[in-house]
Amino acid sequence: MAFDKMELRDVEVWDGNMAASQAMRQAQIDVVAAYPITPSTPVVENYAGFLANNFIEGEFVMVESEHAAMSGCIGAAAAGGRVATATSSQGFALMVETLYQASGMRLPIVLNVVNRALAAPLNVNGDHSDMYLGRDSGWIQFDSYCPQDVYDLNLIAFKVSEDHDVRLPAMVHQDGFMTSHTAQGVHTLDDDTAYGFVGEYKPMNDMLDFDHPVTHGVQTEEDWHFEHKARQHSDLMTKVFPKIQAAFDDFEKLTGRKYNMVETYDTDDADVAVVCMGTSVETAREVATEMRAKGIKAGVVGIRVIRPFPFEQIADALKGLKAIATLDRSNPNGTVGMLFNEIAGSMYNLDTRPMISGYVYGLGGRDLTKVHLTELYTELQANVDAGKITTPLQQFIGVRGPKLSFL
């Protein structure tokens, strides 16, 4: 090999961005086409550093916009090799057109999304607005709660996305700044083991196979469009979960680190739980433990796979609870939050189901504190005690001024 391996310690002190860059390096990506945007910029800066020091044999193309970044990724992926990039927020929004094109053309690409608010007003800090914007785009979406998850889920994402039964692009989400710029200990794999887990890239319908020319990105109207879209949805609903499960199982065998579609914490005997994503999961776990000391049987449910949405696993995890709260970190702009909707939808037809109340929090990087979560668990317990929801259905947490609530 013409490039150098990197010697890593068993535990490296990495922030989420470096964790993503290192996983990309170890996956031996062939082409990265990228454009800088806060807070994901270091992902590609680190990558450029690897390139400058001969730790990468692939090409890094610094393009002129995020739209072009994903366009270049699509062309490169269709040519037949491993492709990844990173973005955030406005860059993600600019990419949206091409996100649908990438998934509709069934091209495996890994996109690190360092979650950040969407303007206006302009804001560089973390919330899940960009993540939510991508949720109908036909991509697989993994969610990380810390730098370790970012590293592990990147390796897993390549394996799932590139599987010939899947051939769908995948996003790995992490919270802007809270994960992306917060250094923590990350357990590493050595370069060969990590690459061995991801595996060699196996091209399919590749444009560089000149003996088998392929037409990519066709026109279909009312005669065939629906079948194409239905097929994509069907594969997301039926084929992706088994592949993710298999990848999680393989990863656990390799590292001892176990991932689940839905990450439950102390839910087995719990009365109340919050359902959330990103860094909030770890905060909620800490508060749930404290609530137990106060006599409230509290648990936490973290969503690990956002798309496809794990309806069955969610129902399994929540059906025995009495009251739950969904925490959405994106402005619903005129309705209930996405998690409220999905989770209510996954349980509505069950015989037993918890009461659900929705909370909107953390927009533009506003902290979700332990005090907020303590109050929230207390409200859920009040619902349990009263046998009905005692609060409005939708409440905003941590916003200035009089308490904001709806429905």
Partner 1 sequence: MSEMKKIKNLKEFSTSADRFEGANLLCPGCAHSIIVREVLNATNDDMVLSASTGCLEVCTAVYPYTSWDASWIHIGFENGSTAVAGAETMHKVLKRKGRLKQPDRNPKFVSFAGDGASYDIGFQWISGCMERGHNIMHVVLDNEVYANTGGQRSSSTPIGASATTSQAGTHSYGEKRNKKDMVSIMASHHIPYSAQVAPNKWKDMVKKIQHGFSVDGPVFINAASPCTTEWKFDPKDTMHLADLATDSLVFPLYEIIDGRELNITYRPKNVVPVEEYLAAQGRFKHLFKDEYKYLIKEWQERIDENWAYLNRREEARV
Residues lying near partner 1 in the complex (CB under 8 A): 2, 30-31, 33, 57-59, 61, 63-65, 67-68, 71-81, 83, 97-98, 101, 105, 206-211, 213-221, 224, 228
The residue among 120 and 218 lying less far from partner 1, judged by its C-beta, is 218
Of residues 32 and 178, the one with the C-beta less far from partner 1:
32
Whole-number minimum distance, CB 195 to partner 1, in Å?
13
Give the shortest CB-171-to-partner 1 separation in angstroms: 18
**118 is written with which tokens?**
């969407």
Give every CB contact of residue 28 below 8 A, 6+ residues apart in sequence: 56, 57, 58, 82, 195, 198
Looking at the Cβ atoms of 76 and 324, the one nearer to partner 1 is 76
Q: Which is nearer to partner 1, 219 or 349 (CB)?
A: 219
DSSP for 360-394? EE-GGG----HHHHHHHHHHHHHHHHHTS--S-SE
Q: Are strands 262-265 and 298-303 parallel, antiparallel or unpaired?
A: antiparallel
Closest approach of Cβ 188 to partner 1, in Å? 24
Shortest CB 57 distance to partner 1, Å: 6
H-state helical runs in 65-134: 66-79, 89-104, 129-133
Q: Which amino acid appears at position 297 of this protein?
A: K
CA atoms of 58 and 50, how far apart (whole Å): 10
Residue 83 CB, shortest distance to partner 1, in Å, is 8
Q: How far is the CB of 203 from partner 1 (least distance, A)?
A: 8
Q: Which is nearer to partner 1, 218 or 293 (CB)?
A: 218
Nearer to partner 1, 192 or 250 (CB): 192
Pick left, alpha or beta for residue 196 (phi over 0 → left; psi -120 to 50 → alpha; otherwise beta).
alpha
Tell me which DSSP letter residue 154 carries. Answer: H
Minimum CB separation of residue 88 from partner 1 in Å reads 20
The DSSP code for 87 is E
Helix (H) or strand (E) holding 115: strand 110-115
By beta-carbon proximity to partner 1, the closer residue of 107 and 327 is: 107
Backbone phi, psi, residue 95, to 5°: -80, -15
User: Residue 312 and residue 37: Cα distance in Å, rounded?
Assistant: 36
User: Closest separation between CB of residue 204 and partner 1, Å?
Assistant: 12
Q: Which is nearer to partner 1, 207 or 389 (CB)?
A: 207
Q: Nearest to residue 190, comparing CAs of 49, 11, 2, 1? A: 11
Residue closer to partner 1, measured from CB, 67 or 319: 67
Task: Note whether 345 and 278 are within 8 A (CB).
Answer: no
Radius of gyration of the chain (CA): 21
Find tokens 């057109």 and name the residue: 97
> Do 20 and 172 contact (CB within 8 A), yes or no?
yes
Partners of 397 in beta bridges: 361
Q: Nearest distance from residue 167's CB to partner 1, in Å?
A: 15
Alpha carbon 132 to chain centroid, angstroms? 10
